[in-house]
Amino acid sequence: MIEHNVISTALQKPEMMAGVDLRREYFQDSNLGDVWSHIQHMLSKGDIVNFALVAVDMKQQTGKDYTKFLGTICKDSLPASNQSILDKYVEKMGVTHRERAAVAACDVLRDSIANGGQNSIDACIRDLMALSSETKKYTHDSKEKINLAIQEIQNAWDSKGLVGVPTGLKTLDEQLGGFHKSDLIIVGARPAMGKTALAINMMMYGGARCGFISCEQSAAQIGMRLMSLTSGVSLHDLRLAKYSADDDNSAITSGAMQVTQRQIYTNDRPGINNLEIQRQAREWKQKHDIDILFVDYLQKINSSMQHGTKAEAVGEVAVSLKNLAKELNIPVVALAQVNRSVEQRPDKRPMCSDIKDCGIIEQEADVIAMLYRDEVYNDDSNDKGLAEINIEKNRSGPIGDMKVGFEKQLLKFYDVEVRNYDY
């Protein structure tokens, strides 16, 4: 039996165990798991390991005599003859462990469905999805780190610097390299600046498989915006059916076809909470393998817990979205309102500190971008038809601002190649 061979190796050739990622739960036999835990503890202290010393240590710790048990393992089970064979043993144990865990989770899931326990169902689904990432390696030597870095550089070279999920805006992609996996990206602005429009543009023109949690816009409204973007017919004219003649009908039909070819999945449930978002995102990831999740908007999401203040509730939602990004290994883009106080300043461009309700948002976010359109405040603005995207925080690169075009009738953003950023 492989488990006995591995313990025999640990007892007779403990030096081979130094680089092995072997976990207690990999052992189906709990007694062998206990033995490995004691061996692991002794190795971590630099103690000498053999079956006699392990037996002594275990008797001191548990009061139970393991001498005969360990002696039988050493006598009847051959240790691995080389490191490659040991690694294969451990890999097989890991696979078997995940199979057992999947079966156990499915059993719990079946019972939960019978009893109507939604929280248990969510926990089981999370556990099942987590099993797929258990094989990820977390420890690396210097050579492995350099090889991983070289691979990242090669990927960036091959993709011309776009290593994340495309945003649909070349200017923004060049600065951020796209939206990166496991990142929480916050896009903040005052109302009527175009936060939702920017998210919809990114979903339509980024080319990725998207999930969209919409707390303000209905699915029909989102569909209308997408059709306006792709047809070139203004949102106002579409909504009131004021378009004319065959040309517009043809453009609308063509635009609708473009939208139907995109993989954009929407949940427009009002009053959705953070646990429901997690549930929906996991479903989209499992069924459609979404590349990115958009949430519109952060302060509209209800917390699943009771909190004394709105700031505490929003903070919990922000933490849960960051954890969700890491769990699913996708970027999560959350729109956020900023405080009204910015409108009392001569320069009304929002900053990180203006994000409404909670400083935890700023702590959790990997990227914070602020959206600003000067023409909203100044009728004689020199920047009519332009929007500013100001990167206020970027854990992995430069901050600064850039200007993009904004076509108000279509709520469409586009590149104009104006930028100003620094590290």
User: What burial class does residue 243 get, using C-beta atoms within 10 Å of its C-beta: 0-12 exposed, 13-18 middle, 19+ buried?
Assistant: middle
Q: How many helices and strands, by DSSP H and E, does the chain display?
A: 15, 9
Tokens of residue 399, six digits: 């901050």
Say whether the peptide bond before residue 297 is cis (omega within 30 degrees of 0): yes
Q: Nearest-CA neighbor of 28 among 7, 45, 10, 46?
A: 7
Question: Could you give the 3-state DSSP secondary structure of residue 178?
Answer: coil
Closest by CA position to 296, among listed 327, 267, 264: 267
Half-sphere exposure of 108 (CA within 13 A, CB side): 17
Question: What is the C-alpha to C-alpha distance for residues 320 and 329, in angstroms, rounded to an integer?
Answer: 14
Tell me which residue of 94, 97, 95, 100 sits closest to 22, measured CA to CA: 94
From 130, 77, 58, 64, select the one nearest 101 (Cα to Cα). 130
Q: How many CB atoms lie within 10 A of CB 331?
A: 25
Beta 332-337 vs 264-267: how paired, if at all? Answer: unpaired
- The residue type found at 40 is Q
Distance in angstroms (rounded) separating the CA atoms of residues 3 and 32:
7
CA gap 27, 36 in Å, rounded:
9
Which two structure tokens, joined as six digits, stand for 87? Answer: 């690694």
The DSSP code sequence of 76-127 is: HSPPPSSHHHHHHHHHHHHHHHHHHHHHHHHHHHHHHHHHT-HHHHHHHHHH
- Please indicate whether residue 216 is annotated as part of the active site: yes
Q: DSSP letter at 137? A: -
In terms of DSSP H, where are the helices of 190-264?
Answer: 195-205, 219-231, 235-239, 245-260
Q: Which of 25, 174, 216, 283 is catalytic?
A: 216
Question: Which active-site residues does the annotation give?
Answer: 216
